[in-house]
Each structure stands twice: as C-alpha cells, then as structure tokens.
C-alpha cells in the first residue's frame, strides 16, 4: 500500500508540474498534499514519505520530465556494449553498474543511499576510459598501417 500511495503522490505531483517538477527535496510536501492515507491514523502509512520508495518515482515527482530524461540519457549514452574486436572488461563494469543504478531507481528513493552518486560517476568514468582506450587503439592501428620508409 505504501508503494501504491507514493505512486499516486508522484503521478499527481507530476500532473501538476510536468516539465521541471517541484524541486529537489519537495516530495515530503507533495506527500502531505496528495497522500491517499493522510486521514488514516495507523502507524506506518507515512513511511517513506521523504523518499517515495523509489528513486524513479521521486525523480518524476521532484524533477519532472527534465530530470527523468537526463537520468535516462545518462543510462543510454554511457552504456558500453560488448565488443568482440576490442576485448576489454569495460562492458562488464558497465553492466554491473547499470544493475546498481536500475535497482536504485526502482527500490531506493534516497539520492545518496548506498553511494548512488558514486555509481553514476563511475558509470560515466568507465565510458570515458573506454573511449580513451578505443581512440588509442585506433591511433596505433593508423600508425601501423602507414607505409614504412627506409632510412639509411
């Protein structure tokens, strides 16, 4: 019920502020405003009022389309597929971190819980490290393909 309640809160808050949301840290205010359990006087119905049970729900509520699009842009843009030609472990690291990011999006609502920003930065860094390695391999192949001249 708590997850469903936070889903209702996030969707109502999103409908009111679809483009940019209501700002970081504003989900507890939306919880007070839209909770379907605010009149129930039983302990536990206001659990996870601060973090929405899910970072995706919280992003939808607090940052609107703008924040959700940025998050999915990061996930898609910096993903590394397995490349048979250049066998590195970057794709494996990318997949492992992607799982951590997706788990946080679906079940953890706090932005800093379990080092989430660290995993996002590591995900992006892994991509740039792979690009740097890829470029250096291409440059070395170009040098190898140049005609060799004899010097006396």
95-119 burial, b at 16+ Cβ within 10 Å, e below that, comes to eebbebbeebbeebbebeeeebeeb
In this prediction, residues 77-82 reach a mean pLDDT of: 94
In this prediction, residues 140-151 reach a mean pLDDT of: 60
Domain map (residue ranges) of the chain: 1-64, 74-137
Dmax (CA) of the chain: 93
pLDDT surpasses 80 at 67: yes
Question: Residue 52's closest CA among 79, 76, 24, 73?
Answer: 24
Quick one: pLDDT at residue 112?
83
> 147 or 95: which carries more pLDDT confidence?
95
Contact of 78 with 122, CB cutoff 8 Å: no
Quick one: pLDDT at residue 53?
80
pLDDT surpasses 70 at 86: yes
Average pLDDT, the chain: 85
Q: What digits encode the pLDDT tens for the residues 88-133?
A: 899 999 999 999 999 999 888 788 878 899 999 999 999 999 999 8
Instruction: Please state, for a pLDDT cut of 90, what percent of the chain lies above it.
Output: 39
Number of H helices, E strands in the chain: 5, 0
8: left (phi over 0), alpha (psi -120 to 50) or beta: alpha
> 6 or 92: which carries more pLDDT confidence?
92
pLDDT surpasses 90 at 50: no
pLDDT surpasses 60 at 151: no
Quick one: pLDDT at residue 21?
87
């Amino acid at each position: 019920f708590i997850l469903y309640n936070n889903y209702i809160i996030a969707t109502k808050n999103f409908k009111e502020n679809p483009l940019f949301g209501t700002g970081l840290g504003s989900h507890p205010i939306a919880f007070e405003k839209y909770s379907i359990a605010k009149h129930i006087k039983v302990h536990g119905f206001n659990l996870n009022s601060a973090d929405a049970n899910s970072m995706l729900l919280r992003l939808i509520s607090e940052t609107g389309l703008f924040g959700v699009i940025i998050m999915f842009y990061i996930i898609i843009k910096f993903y590394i597929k397995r490349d048979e030609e250049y066998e590195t472990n970057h794709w494996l690291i990318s997949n492992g971190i992607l799982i951590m990011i997706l788990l946080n999006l679906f079940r953890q609502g706090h932005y800093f819980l379990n080092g989430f920003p660290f995993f996002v930065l590591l995900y992006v860094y892994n991509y740039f490290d792979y690009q740097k390695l890829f470029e250096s391999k291409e440059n070395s192949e170009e040098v190898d393909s140049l005609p060799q001249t004899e010097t006396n």
